Chain A
Amino acid sequence: MNQSSLARIHNRSLMLVVEDSNEDFEAFQRYARRSPLRIPIYRCVDGDHALSFLYRTGRYVDPKQAPRPNLILLDLNLPGTDGREVLQKVKRDENLKTIPVVILTTSSNPKDIEACYRWGANSYMVKPMDSDRLKHGVQSLINYWFNTTLLPTDN
């Protein structure tokens, strides 16, 4: 695979970040933007919006406004429908289940970790309290999912 084909795939790739905290989202975005891959980021502030986005309902009926993401970055503790429910819905949905879901949360509770993998989460990351580790984490996350691995192509 040469450089131009990579760029073509990347041009079409995008990720959905489900995150209620503006500060956490800004910190994520700050380091994500520094990635050379320039993956477009869509954000939903809670679980209900995320589900509307994925199922294109409500304000997201226009497919252009809610393109299918290639990766979902999901916080667990969200206002309204929380991340655990979103995860289970996605992973039970024949159409959506092929989208990798990475959990990015404050919780290091072993019960959460176990449960999320059981429900089909593809990775579990704890939000670090250290800027360098956060920077490193975000960069390696993007690099891994959009460069190292191959994702299923959209239908």
Chain B
Amino acid sequence: MDLSTCDREPIHIPGLIQPHGALLVLQEPGLIIVQVSGNTLEILGHRPKELLRQPLSILLAPQQIAAIQQCLSEDTENVNPLDIAISYRGSLLMFDGNIHRQDALVLLELEPQDQKQRNDYSELHQGVKSTITKIQKSSSLLKMCELVVKEVKKITGFDRIMVYQFDADGAGEVIAEERTEGLTPYLGLRYPASDIPVQAKQLYTLNWLRLIPDSSYTPVALVPERNPVDEEPTDLSFALLRSVSPLHLEYLNNMGVAASMSISLIQDQKLWGLIACHHSRPRHVPSNLRIMCEFIGQVMSLDLSKRVDNQDLSYKLSMKSLQSKLVESLSQSKQIIKGSIQLDESLLELVSATGAIFCTADHSIGVGQTPPASEWPALRDWIKTQMQDNMFQSRSLSRLYPAATSFKAVASGVLALEISQFHQDFVIWFRPEVIETVTWAGNPHKPVEVASNGIVTLSPRKSFQQWKETLQGCALPWKPCELKVVAELRSLIVSKILKQAADLANVNLELERSNIELDSFAYVASHDLKEPLRGIHNYSNFLIEDYAEVLDTAGVDKLATLVRLTQRMEDLINSLLHYSQLGRIELSRQPTDLAELVEQTIEVLRISQPQSSIDFRMSGSMPMVDCDRTQISEVLTNLLTNAIKYNDKAEKWVEIGCAQSGNGDSDGLSGCTFFVRDNGIGIPPQHLERVFQIFKRLHTQDQYGGGTGAGLTIVRKIVHQHGGKIWVESSFGEGSTFFFTLASGEQS
């Protein structure tokens, strides 16, 4: 339980003001007084009932009314305060007038002027000029804060001036302090977020400055309670005299503060902090001094963005170079997982992390100190649910994700980036637990008071003694610049990946074009080569036919050789054409009964080679395979033909089978390794790889029935196209075994 009930207190419409000035609520046109503060007699010398429903001219001279009208037609912020004189019983009372519009109303606040204040104005003006120059020249954010508290103390004469900075959770910390000697230092103290309720922060953002000259004041009510224009309590959000929450006054009293002033420090429209001024006795700050303080606050606010940005300048520069390095590697998630790109310390350095993991949908790898790998999947899945704008960060993971308690020592801080939603690529950085001692102003966990009658009431913490808390399960917070660099990392990677995709598309287009060119080249080449070849062939035959009787036997034999060579040349050209076309034909995969395909192939071989008596043996059962039937049939035909061809045994046999667990190669995705084994001539070990080379033959043309030497090259190409592998084992003179796998699409 904290002071969050304060969050509901309507502090902008208290119906009360502080007593050091008077408030007139006016209605346009004519500036009729419709509501006044109850202290008009004390301040202005007129009772409320004398003023209500009267025009403002009852108090002010026509030229002053004209000045007010003029103000209302301009930006009132720039004209306040106005010098206002009210004649009372022959003498002239001088006021600082602050005027602003609120909804349909005009609010005029009048504070009696200090007789002396006008005199030292120019001196103060000089003072503030030099202060601002110093602010702008200060070397760091902290130096600037230290300077500002000194200057504000000089201007206001308050006991204690502090710069109070809010962290991301809304808790405040005193980062600079200037105090009168003898006071307890507050520097370094923290205040829980509940000390300043949300709507109070909102009002701090709207107004540059608030002043409570005497925290023991008795508030003055507005008369009537609701303004007669809209029958609502008048909104005093912008009123300087607005009475503050009694809880706030009690809070000040608990601290022994009798007068308080605060100046807002605003960065990017957000309340960054406050310059808080405390005084142990009541103290009024005249409006001209307030304007100077306000001005200092504004100058400091303007400088904040620059300061906060500069604070980590060198860090940011090194981040940038790391960032561009990482973009390169992180854009290639597959290569990272395969290990061809190493994740190194630079990933950690980027955000000053001590560990990181890189996850894709089904793989993760880590670098540095990380939670145990067994925890990664669950952690990643949880983080996925926490993503906002592709990022998630916490400095205390175990508070949000209790399972992290076991590894909070290495991973209390976590920062996650989703690189690609589609691929589910994540980088998750870790920071270790830092046992941190935080000095609170009082125990932040005990804002609740129990009254003697047992009723729980909420009031600000009575004790402002230091209360030290050890923060467990917390890492150093992630800095805004670190979050920013990570957010940028993603967009850089995404654009990099998009570019890669575009490049890939271009490469594909190139490849397609060159494939088409190769296709037409192979086609044209084969046609153009064949035509003269056919001429040689035909004319040789014509010679034999027409001139056989005038040639001797040797001449006829030579012509016959010429004819045979042209035929062999044609075979070679055809093989080349066939091979070149294989790569460009889309596989037409279909579920194929391999047993049936083997039998068909054997049948065709028996018919085409009736003279050879071969013992074909099927070993084991053959599975159904998703493959291109025509092409696998060609593989089988080639392997079986070779098995028969290169066999000089009297009893020839060929064994065709399928081994369920990989034989010799276990990383094939299929689990099925097919083999064709023979008792043929075998292959000498030094030639095992050569058999797959195109046009590479191990024997002369007149041995083993000749051939182009393209058969096994074509077989290998088909197997590769099916995503499989092919290899051969052989003992020379005893036989060979060709193994192949067909990697994907298997249906057992």
Q: Are B527 and A23 within 8 A (Cβ)?
A: no
Residue B732 is within 8 A (CB to CB) of chain A in the complex: no
A57 at the interface (CB under 8 A from B): no
Q: Are B530 and A23 interface neighbours, CB within 8 A?
A: no
Report the separation of the CA atoms of residues A131 and B538 in the bound assembly, to the nearest whole angstrom. Answer: 6
Q: In the bound complex, do residue B527 and residue A134 qualify as a contact, i.e. CB atoms below 8 Å apart? A: no
Q: Classify chain A's interface size.
A: 10 to 19
Q: Inside 8 A of A109's CB, which chain B residues have their CB?
A: 523
Q: Provide the bound-state CA to CA distance between A114 and B531, in Å.
A: 22
State whether B537 touches A131 (Cβ < 8 A).
yes
- Distance A112 CA – B566 CA, assembled complex (angstroms): 24
CB <8 Å contact, B567 and A129: yes
Interface contact B542-A24, CB-CB below 8 Å: no
Partner of A106, one of B527, B537, B545, B563: B527
B523 touches A107 (CB 8 A): yes
* Minimal beta-carbon separation of A34 from chain B (angstroms): 11
- In the complex, what's the smallest C-beta–C-beta distance from A40 to chain B, in angstroms? 22
Q: Check if B539 is an interface residue, CB within 8 A of chain A.
A: yes
Q: Is the CB of B531 within 8 A of A21?
A: yes
When distances are taken between beta carbons in the complex, the residues of chain B under 8 Å from A24 are 531, 534-535, 538
Q: With A21-B535, A23-B534 in contact, do A131 and B541 touch (Cβ < 8 Å)?
A: yes
Interface residues of B in 542-582 (CB under 8 A from A): 542, 545, 563, 566-567, 570
Among candidates A77, A107, A134, residue contacting B538 with C-beta atoms closer than 8 Å: A134
Q: Is B533 an interface residue (CB 8 A)?
A: yes
Task: Assess whether A9 is interfacial by the CB under 8 Å rule.
Answer: no
Complex-state Cα separation, A77 to B563, whole angstroms: 24
- Whether A106 pairs with B538 at a CB distance below 8 angstroms is no
**Neighbouring B residues of A23 by C-beta, 8 Å:** 531, 534-535, 538-539
**Complexed CA–CA distance, A109 and B584 (Å):** 13
Which DSSP category, helix, strand, loop or mixed, fits chain B's interface? helix
Task: Scan residues 493-550 of chain B and give those whose CB is less than 8 A from a CB of chain A.
Answer: 523, 526-527, 530-531, 533-535, 537-539, 541-542, 545
Q: Which residue of A lies closest to B537 (CB)?
A: A129
Q: Are B535 and A130 in contact (CB under 8 A)?
A: no
Distance in Å: Cβ of A84 to nearest Cβ of chain B:
13
Do A106 and B530 have beta carbons less than 8 Å apart?
A: yes
Residues 23-38 of chain A, each 1 if its beta carbon lies under 8 Å from chain B, else 0 = 1101100100000000
Closest to A132 in B: B541
Residue of A nearest to B539 (CB): A23
| Bound form: Cα–Cα A67–B563 in Å | 38
User: Are B542 and A129 closer than 8 Å at their CB atoms?
Assistant: no
Q: Are A129 and B541 in contact (CB under 8 A)?
A: no
C-alpha gap A30/B546 in the complex (Å): 11
| A97 lies within 8 A of chain B by Cβ | no
What residue in chain B is nearest A131 (Cβ atoms)? B541
Question: A127 an interface residue at 8 Å Cβ cutoff?
Answer: yes
Please give me the residue from chain B that is nearest to A31 by CB atom: B538
A107-B523, A107-B527, A109-B523 given; A127·B534 CB < 8 A: yes
B566 touches A129 (CB 8 A): yes
Least distance between B289 CB and chain A CB atoms (Å)? 94
Closest to B542 in A: A30
Residues of B with C-beta under 8 A to A27: 534, 538, 542
- Of the candidates B523, B527, B570, the one whose C-beta lies within 8 Å of that of A129 is B570
Which chain A residues border B563 with CB–CB below 8 Å?
131
CA distance A134 to B541 in the complex (A): 11
| Chain A residues within 8 Å of B526, by CB | 106
Residues of A within 8 A of B (CB): 21, 23-24, 26-27, 30, 77, 106-107, 109, 127, 129-131, 134
Q: Which residues of chain B have a CB within 8 Å of any CB of chain A?
A: 523, 526-527, 530-531, 533-535, 537-539, 541-542, 545, 563, 566-567, 570
For the complex of A and B, the 6 pairs showing the least CB-CB separation, nearest first, are A23-B535, A131-B541, A27-B538, A129-B570, A106-B527, A106-B530
Beyond A106-B531, A129-B533, A129-B566, 13 additional contacts (C-beta under 8 Å) are A23-B534, A24-B534, A24-B538, A27-B538, A77-B527, A106-B527, A107-B527, A127-B534, A129-B570, A130-B537, A131-B537, A131-B545, A134-B538
A-B contact pairs, 8 of them (CB 8 A): A23-B531, A23-B538, A24-B531, A77-B527, A106-B526, A106-B531, A107-B527, A109-B523
